[in-house]
Chain A
Amino acid sequence: MEYKDEKLVEEKVFKDPVHRYIHVRDKVIWDVIGTSEFQRLRRIKQLGTTYLVFHGAEHSRFHHSLGVYEIVRRIIDDGFSGRPEWNNEERLVTMCAALLHDLGHGPFSHAFEKVFDLDHEQFTQAILLGDTEVNAVLRRVAPDFPQKVADIIGKTYPDKLVVSLISSQIDADRMDYLQRDAYFTGVSYGHFDMERILRVMRPTEEQAVIKYSGMHAVEDYIMSRYQMYWQVYFHPVSRSAEVILTKILHRAKQLHASGYIFKQEPTHFHSFFDKTFVLEDYIALDENILMTYFQIWMKEEDAILSDLCYRFINRRLFQYAEFDPATEYRKIGELEQLFKEAGIDPAYYLVTDSSSDLPYDFYGPGEENERLPIYLQMKNGDLSELSRSSDVVDAISGKRRTDHKIYFPEDVLEAGKAKNPLYGRILHMLKG
């Protein structure tokens, strides 16, 4: 029997709080899960700094990756299999892509990528195609199999239906993370009837579509997504932690560039500071390693680095104030000047941050935008874009909500305002 068709003697299951069980029968899937690059995802949290607000949010990208795999497996085996629009030759490659879609995420992904100018999607491609354990497993299926998996994740695979299962406005990735993040944060948003959506999902040549009778379940999914973004993902306190984390990495990078001698050499970071990293350096990193450095750096001589690390480790986060860039951008310049005069470096202690989300959007002809809409399959087989049938979705379609905040160390300013009147002036400008 060919490796691609090999089944485990007995089905393996992972107990899962969201999907109850993750079922694995394919030998290839089992072998991929066992690779060191996939196991590394256990050491990278799904929601980064969110655990500092919602203490339950300690779940990892390993959990989520298994969840996306399970949803895709159910879509194919319980929904698409046997339908003429679905080519079952794509089953294994689609499930591998689902399992591996987040493989290249690094520790505290967003902040790390921003500071070191990296892209986790490029690392996903590099791990799939490089000299790695994952690549060795996938190559046993066929020499071009790793490239096929990489193409699905990179959205360059010729079969658009397959791509849409992993990456579209109603894909397995979102369906898993909304439910999983809701479960682990403990919020009451984020829940929707996924079983119903999977039952009414239909394959077409270009993408998966939803049978008309499932419209209300999809409405619930869109609203769940909307709520989760504003209540969880953009929570201002979590953003404050992210701001401090980003500034820690910036400070360490700047100190290295200036020739500063660290008490504990940051060997894991050297190749990132110098932009000489190779894939092995990236795979060697995880959040445990970064947290260890942050602990050690609390004892550094550099006052800014040690303070920022103390703040992050002990949750002494920055305070925030609302900020309207359109009318207040000049105020930022004034504040930066005041911070300098007060002896507080604004590059690390005065930070603007924006959050924005578009809950659902549709593609019109010409250059409206680049998002593939969700289609409903009507009784006569025609496809109709979701917002044309749903008043609820129509009400939020194309409507972007943006929120700007400015972060600052209120604790320092409050403690010092009696001695230094500039501190009081800064506080007055920030808080009114």
Chain B
Amino acid sequence: MLQEHARIVQFISMANEVTGRKKLQKMIYIAKKMNFPFAEKYELHMYGPYSEELTLRIEELCAMGFLAERCTDKGSYVQYSYRVTGEGEGFLEMADDAHAMLGTCIDSMNAKSSRFLELVSTLLYFDQLDKDEQIAKVLIVKSKLNFTVEEMTAAFEFISEMQTYAVQ
């Protein structure tokens, strides 16, 4: 009960801080694709896989006082960062123990840009397709982002790395 909320708090606690709503969305999606137990349902939206349920859960956790949201004006846009509050650390007692590899997975993702994670998560969204078809799909749905061949290569390498941390 409230396990799904607790897992999100645990995830952010393990990351220490996540900067950017988009980045957080993609990190949870990638973790979910690596079979870590996240229940939020995702659909393809403007920035790739996006979960309304996760947005709602984050808003709830902020309203409950378990997460702190910091807002930074970046000129043309506003950036949000998330940390776990003292009250949230108490709430973490509700969470089951995290999988041993989740922390490594989070650290690797948190070191990447949100643009890169957007590419990785969108490729993963089409992972039932062959590699060439995956790339073709991404180039259609992300036509405005002009991903380069180098970025594609790096994204596939990153996916391979993530798969070594995946829950079997």
Contacts and interface: CB of A to CB of B under 8 A. Distances in A.
> Does A associate with B in a complex?
yes
Contact of B79 (A155, A156, A366, A402): A366
B11 interface: no
Contact of B56 (A158, A336, A356, A365): A356
Given A156-B140, A333-B94, A369-B55, A354 B60 contact: yes
Contacts of B86: none
Nearest to B122: A156
Contacts of B29: none
B1 A367 contact: no
Contacts of A1: none
Nearest to A350: B1
Contact of A370 (B1, B46, B80): B46
B2 interface: yes
Contacts of B78: 364, 366-368
B77 A370 contact: no
A154 B64 CA distance: 34
Contacts of A119: 41
Contacts of B80: 367
Counting chain B CB atoms within 10 Å of each CB, which of A326, A329, A350, A356 scores highest?
A329
B79 A370 contact: no
Interface in A301-315: none
A410 interface: no
Given A155-B44, A366-B76, A400 B56 contact: yes
Contacts of A368: 77-78
Interface string A256-282: 000000000000000000000000000
Nearest to A402: B60
Contact of B2 (A156, A332, A400, A402): A332
A325 interface: yes
Contacts of B83: none
Contact of B74 (A352, A366, A369, A370): A366
A367 B22 contact: yes
Q: Which applies to chain A's interface (DSSP): helix, strand, loop or mixed?
A: loop
Contacts of B66: 326
Given A329-B2, A329-B91, A369-B55, A155 B43 contact: yes
A377 B22 CA distance: 30
B60 A367 contact: no
A354 B60 CA distance: 10
Interface in A328-364: 329, 332-333, 336, 346, 350-352, 354, 356, 358, 363-364
A396 interface: no
A369 B56 CA distance: 12
Contacts of B64: 325-326
Interface in B90-148: 91, 94, 114, 137, 140-141
B7 interface: no
A58 interface: no
Contacts of A333: 94
Given A326-B64, A333-B94, A400-B56, A154 B46 contact: no
B63 A367 contact: no
Nearest to B65: A326
B56 A370 contact: no
A327 to B, nearest CB: 8
A16 to B, nearest CB: 29
Nearest to B66: A326
B47 interface: yes
Contact of A158 (B21, B59, B140): B140
A299 to B, nearest CB: 30
Given A326-B64, A329-B91, A365-B76, A370 B47 contact: yes
Given A155-B43, A326-B63, A365 B77 contact: yes
Contacts of A155: 43-45, 141
A154 B55 CA distance: 21
Contacts of B82: none
A363 B20 contact: no
Contact of B45 (A351, A365, A370): A370
Interface in A132-174: 154-156, 158
Contacts of B50: 370
Contact of A372 (B2, B43, B46, B56): B46
A400 B59 contact: yes
B33 to A, nearest CB: 13
B21 A367 contact: yes
Closest A-B pairs by Cβ, 8 of them: A366-B77, A326-B64, A370-B45, A370-B50, A367-B22, A367-B21, A356-B56, A370-B46
Interface of A: 114, 119, 121, 154-156, 158, 325-326, 329, 332-333, 336, 346, 350-352, 354, 356, 358, 363-372, 400, 402
Given A155-B43, A366-B77, 7 more contacts: A155-B141, A325-B60, A346-B1, A350-B1, A356-B60, A364-B78, A367-B21
